[in-house]
Structures are given as C-alpha cells and as structure tokens.
Amino acid sequence: TTVWAEHLSDELKRRFYKNWYKSKKKAFTKYAKKHAEEGGKNITRDLERMKKYCTTIRVLAHSQVSKTPLSQKKAHLMEVQINGGSIADKVDFGHGLFEKPVEIDSIFEQDEMIDCIAITKGHGYQGVTSRWGTKKLPRKTHKGLRKVACIGAWHPSHVQWTVARAGQMGYHHRTSVNHKVYRIGKGTDEGNASTDFDVSKKQITPMGGFVRYGEVKNDFVLLKGSVPGVKKRVMTLRKSMFTHT
C-alpha cells in the first residue's frame, strides 16, 4: 500500500515525465482528490491497512534541487526505510513527515562516522595497466607492453574472471565507509566557516565560488576524506552499519 501526500512539488512531478513542458502536468491529481473526498476517508483507511498488514514501512523522499545553483529541475527520488518502534509508530512517523523538509542536523551529528554512497568518476574504456595497475612489460616487447603477459593456465580452458583485463573503468556504484562528520553548517549563518582558532567571520564558500558548483547557500556537511563521484553528483549519506567502539 502506498499513500501519497496531497501537495507534491513540480520538481518531484518532473521525475515522472520525459518531457515536462509538453505534458499536461496531470500526475497525482487523482491522488490529491482522495484527501478532499469524504474528509480523507480513503487515506485514513490506507494508513490503517498499513498498520494492520505491513511488516516494512518506507517513506519516499525527494531532493530540493531548486535550492541549488544547478541547472537541473528534476528532483531525485528515493525510498528510505523507517526503523525502530512498532509498525503503527512507523506509519505515524512517516505520515507526520508529509510535505515537510528533513533537515540534515535532525539525522546526523558532528563527530559521527557515516557512509557515502555514490557513482564514481567515469573514465570510459581503459587498458589493463591503468585499470588494474599491472606491471608494464619490458621495452622490446612485441605487440605492445601495456598488457598482461599470461592470462591463465592451459586448464581450466577458459579465461577466469580473476584475471586483469581491459574494460570499463569508473562510473561504478560504490559505498565509502567511515567518514567523520567534521561540521554541519547552517546556510543562514554568516560565520559558518569560523573555528575556535580562526574567529574571523567568513563563509564556507571560497572566493569565486566552488569550481563547477557555485556558492553554498544551504545547510552543508563537512566530511573527512575523499568521497566517490564528480562535482554536482548526487550522493546518499547513510548511518554507519556497525557499532563503533
């Protein structure tokens, strides 16, 4: 069972269209009428069904790309599972989040260890030397030296998957674990980059803006280390999957 909110933003509706400006923009209009009909009786019935029959409750959350300096207008949509408490508690919690923004500081906190999930930077089709870091062959090698000399034994009489070969490098889905949250900054704070040792009032955006992004005007997270992906690429931040001691 799925229950949709009464008012859905256009940036979310764009996700369901290939061509928004040519469309009639009628997505979810029938769902919205359910909230008005008989005082939302159908919506209440669906929520009660979820409390009675469902074992897993998830919310559909979308990004607010209109707040960023990007040219994209289509929101990213994602299912997020609710854990903890009874099924009724989960349904009530999810229903209470309808049409409300979820702030970053309500989920993560400073000095916490979190995971980053994203698509890595793509490099296209690469040879075996750059893709797997195999040793180059001697200079006088016939037919090229950026190769693997032996790709396996006579038997088993096929090339095994463990052998390094040329192919697609990058643009892979990767999870990078254990990134420490150095700071959760507020976009409205004019001194959101100040520290105990540098008390001058300054913002996190460097002079001239971040290259290929622009100015940071919203809440932000400062993480330790490098994260997968290129600039502007969407990323999933997740609570760590194991208990830190």
The answer on pLDDT for 178 being more than 90 is: yes
| One domain for residues 26 and 63 | yes
pLDDT tens digits, one per residue of 117-127: 999 999 999 99
pLDDT band at 39 (very low <50, low <70, confident <90, very high): confident
pLDDT tens digits, one per residue of 46-102: 999 999 999 999 999 999 999 999 999 999 999 999 999 999 999 999 999 999 999
Q: What is the rounded distance in angstroms from the CA atom of residue 95 to the CA atom of residue 89?
A: 10
| One domain for residues 15 and 76 | yes
| One domain for residues 110 and 224 | yes
Which residues have a Cβ under 8 Å from the Cβ of 214 and sit 6 or more positions away?
69
Note the pLDDT of residue 74.
97
| One domain for residues 236 and 115 | yes
pTM of the full structure: 0.90
The answer on pLDDT for 244 being more than 90 is: no
Note the pLDDT of residue 114.
97
pLDDT tens digits, one per residue of 83-99: 999 999 999 999 999 99
By percentage, how much of the chain surpasses pLDDT 70?
100
pLDDT band at 143 (very low <50, low <70, confident <90, very high): very high
Instruction: Single out the residue of 124, 132, 137 nearest to residue 164, CA to CA.
Output: 132
What is the domain extent for residue 79?
1-102
Mean pLDDT of 103-126: 97
| One domain for residues 111 and 222 | yes
pLDDT, mean over the chain: 95
Which helix (H) or strand (E) element contains residue 167?
strand 167-168
Which CATH number fits the domain that encloses residue 165?
4.10.960.10
Instruction: Single out the residue of 167, 160, 166 nearest to residue 148, CA to CA.
Output: 166
Name the domain count of the chain. Answer: 3
| Domain end residue (candidates: 102, 137, 156) | 102
Which CATH number fits the domain that encloses residue 177?
2.40.30.10
